[in-house]
Amino acid sequence: MPPWILINHRDENWGRDVASVPDGATMYVTSGRTRVKAWAPAKLNLFLEVLGRRDDGFHELDTLMLPIGLWDLLTAEPTDDGSIQLHAEWAMPSGRIDSPLLTDRGIGQLPDAEQNLVYRAFELVRKTHCEPRGVSLGAVVRLWKRIPSEAGMGGGSSDAATALMLANRIWNLHLPFAELAQLAAHLGSDVPFFLYSSSCLCRGRGEIVTPVSSCQSLFFVIVKPPLGLSTAKVFQHTEIPRTPNDSGAIINALSNGTVDQVGKRLFNRLQSAAVSQYESIAQLARVFKRLDVVSHQMTGSGSCYFGLCRNAKHARHLAQTLNSKNLGNAFAVQSARVPISRRLCEQPGQN
Ligand code: C5P
C-alpha cells in the first residue's frame, strides 16, 4: 500500500485566461480543447471552535482549515443537450490513481448521482447562469473518489467547489470569483474554503473565508476508522462553550512559528461530541497519546483522527506502526502545495 499519494500534474502549458480571485489564490485555467481535469484536495481542521447556535440551525464557527495532499479527481466535458451526467466511483488501486484507503471496508457509500454535490454544483450553475442566457448546455462529468466520506476531510465539499470551477470553465461562463463563492456557500458550509488552495480561517457557518499564510509544509499521519460520523449529529451533541478558545495563537504559529508551536495549539471543540457517538475516537486518542507525535486530534466532525509529525519519514513510520494496530487505515500525507493554478488542466483525448 503506497503511503504517499502521487500527484500526476503536468507543469507545462498552463493557460492564463481567467484570473479573478483574491489574495494569492489566483486561478488560471487553460483554454482551447474542451475536456478539463481537476484535482480536489482533502482538508484537516487544525483548530475548530463553536461560538454559538444560530436560529437557522447552523453553528457559528471559528476554524482553521488546511488543504492536504489526498485528492479526488474530476473530469468534465460540455454537451449541448442540457443534461448533466455524473459517473462517480471509488478510485481503484489498479486504476489510474491509487488510494491508500481502498482496502478499508469503511471507506463509505457514494450517494446517488443526483444527490452528489458534484451533480448539484453543475445543476446550480446551469440553472443560475445558462438557463437565464437561453443556452442549453450539459456536461458529462466523471469523479474518481479517494477522500473517504463522513470522515471530516471535506471530500464532498471539495468536489463541489471543484465542480463549480469546472462548470465555469467548460461552459466558458467567466463567472468572477465572488459569484463562485456565493454559489459555493449555497451548496454547503465548507465549500467556499475549497475555492482557495491555502490554509484559511473560516468563520460564520464556515463560508466567510480568509486565507492564512503558512511558513512551512506540515506532515501528518491520519487514521480512517471503519465507521464514519454524521456532521449534523456531531454538531447536535456539541456543548457551546461559555468562553470560546481563540484561533489567533494557532494562526500566528502557522504563519511564523515552529511545528511544536502549531502542535501546542491544535484544538477541536467537536471531538468530545464525536466520542459520545463513536467510542473508536476515544480509542484513537489513547493510542496517539502513547505515540511519539507532536500533537493529535480529530479533524472536523470526524471520524478521521490525525497526528502532526516532524517530517515525511516520521509520518510514514507512524502510518506503518498504526496500520499494525487494526484501528482502521493509516496513511501519511502532507499539507497540499499545489496551488489553484495547477488544479485545472486540459486532458486531451483520454479518459
Ligand atoms: O453546510 P453543510 O450541509 O455541510 O452542513 C451539514 C450539517 O452540519 C448541517 O445540516 C448542520 O446540521 C451542521 N452544521 C452546523 N453548523 C455549521 C456547519 C454545519 O450545525 N457551521
- pTM recorded for the entire structure: 0.87
CB 164 within 8 A of CB 176: no
Question: Active-site residue 145, yes or no?
Answer: no
Tell me the CA–centroid distance for residue 233 and ligand 1, in Å: 9
Q: Are 50 and 147 found together in one domain?
A: yes
Residue range 100-133, pLDDT digits in tens: 555 444 456 777 888 899 999 999 999 999 999 8
Q: Residue 322 — very low, low, confident or very high, per pLDDT cuts 50/70/90?
A: very high
* CA–CA distance, 331 with 178 (Å, rounded to integer): 35
Tell me the CA–centroid distance for residue 57 and ligand 1, in Å: 8
Nearest CA to ligand 1 atom 4: 188
Residue with the larger pLDDT of the pair 295 and 341: 295
* CA–CA distance, 119 with 174 (Å, rounded to integer): 20
Confidence at residue 107, expressed as pLDDT on a 0 to 100 scale: 58
Range name among 9-18, 92-101, 272-281, 292-301 with the lowest pLDDT average: 9-18
Domain of 280: which CATH number? 3.30.70.890
Q: Are 46 and 177 found together in one domain?
A: yes
Q: Are 170 and 279 found together in one domain?
A: no
Q: Is 149 among the domain residues?
A: yes
Nearest CA to ligand 1 atom 11: 232
Q: Is 44 among the domain residues?
A: yes
Confidence at residue 12, expressed as pLDDT on a 0 to 100 scale: 25
As for how many domains the chain has, the answer is 2
Q: Which of 62, 72, 159, 190 is catalytic?
A: 190
Q: Which atom of ligand 1 is nearest to the CA of 188?
A: 1
**Stretch 65-88: mean pLDDT:** 91
Best probe residue, ligand 1, of 55, 203, 230, 235 (max atoms within 8 Å of C-beta): 235
Nearest CA to ligand 1 atom 20: 58
Give, rounded to a whole angstrom, the gap between the first and last alpha carbons of the chain. 25
Question: Active-site residue 43, yes or no?
Answer: yes
Q: Are 50 and 108 found together in one domain?
A: yes
Q: Is 159 among the domain residues?
A: yes
* CA–CA distance, 202 with 46 (Å, rounded to integer): 12
Q: Are 62 and 204 found together in one domain?
A: yes
Q: How would DSSP label each residue in 130-198?
A: IGGGT---EEEEEEEE-SPSSSSS-HHHHHHHHHHHHHHHHTT----HHHHHHHHHHH-TTTGGGGS-S
Q: Is 262 among the domain residues?
A: yes
Q: Are 97 and 152 found together in one domain?
A: yes
Q: Which atom of ligand 1 is nearest to the CA of 191?
A: 4
Q: Are 55 and 194 found together in one domain?
A: yes
Q: Which of 43, 72, 159, 224 is catalytic?
A: 43
CB 203 within 8 A of CB 219: no
Q: Is 23 among the domain residues?
A: no
Residue with the larger pLDDT of the pair 193 and 9: 193
Give me the chain's average pLDDT, please: 83
Q: Are 98 and 239 found together in one domain?
A: no
Residue range 19-49, pLDDT digits in tens: 222 222 223 333 344 778 888 899 999 999 9
**Stretch 90-102: mean pLDDT:** 51
Give the residues across from 307 on adjacent strands. 221, 296
- Picking from 249, 285, 320, 278, the residue whose alpha carbon sits closest to that of residue 46 is 249
Contacts of residues 29-32 at CB distance under 8 Å and 24 or more positions apart, as own/partner, are 29/165, 29/169, 29/344, 30/344, 30/345, 30/346, 32/346
| Domain that residue 301 falls in | 219-334
Q: Are 119 and 257 found together in one domain?
A: no
Q: Which atom of ligand 1 is nearest to the CA of 206?
A: 21
Q: Is 8 among the domain residues?
A: no
Is residue 341's pLDDT more than 70?
Answer: no
Q: Is 238 among the domain residues?
A: yes
Confidence at residue 343, expressed as pLDDT on a 0 to 100 scale: 60
Q: Is 20 among the domain residues?
A: no
Burial of 174 (0-12, 13-18, 19+ CB in 10 A): exposed
Tell me the CA–centroid distance for residue 232 and ligand 1, in Å: 6
Is residue 236's pLDDT more than 60?
Answer: yes
Domain of 199: which CATH number? 3.30.230.10
Task: Count the helix, strand and coil residues of the chain and give each as a percent rounded to the nearest 5.
Answer: 30, 25, 45
According to DSSP, residue 129 is labeled: I
Confidence at residue 342, expressed as pLDDT on a 0 to 100 scale: 53
- Picking from 279, 92, 157, 66, the residue whose alpha carbon sits closest to that of residue 287 is 279
Nearest CA to ligand 1 atom 8: 232
Tell me the CA–centroid distance for residue 128 and ligand 1, in Å: 23
Q: Are 50 and 162 found together in one domain?
A: yes
Site residues for ligand 1, CB cut-off 6 Å: 58-59, 61, 188-190, 205-206, 231-232, 235
Q: Are 223 and 198 found together in one domain?
A: no
Q: Are 98 and 42 found together in one domain?
A: yes
* CA–CA distance, 161 with 27 (Å, rounded to integer): 13
**Stretch 254-279: mean pLDDT:** 97
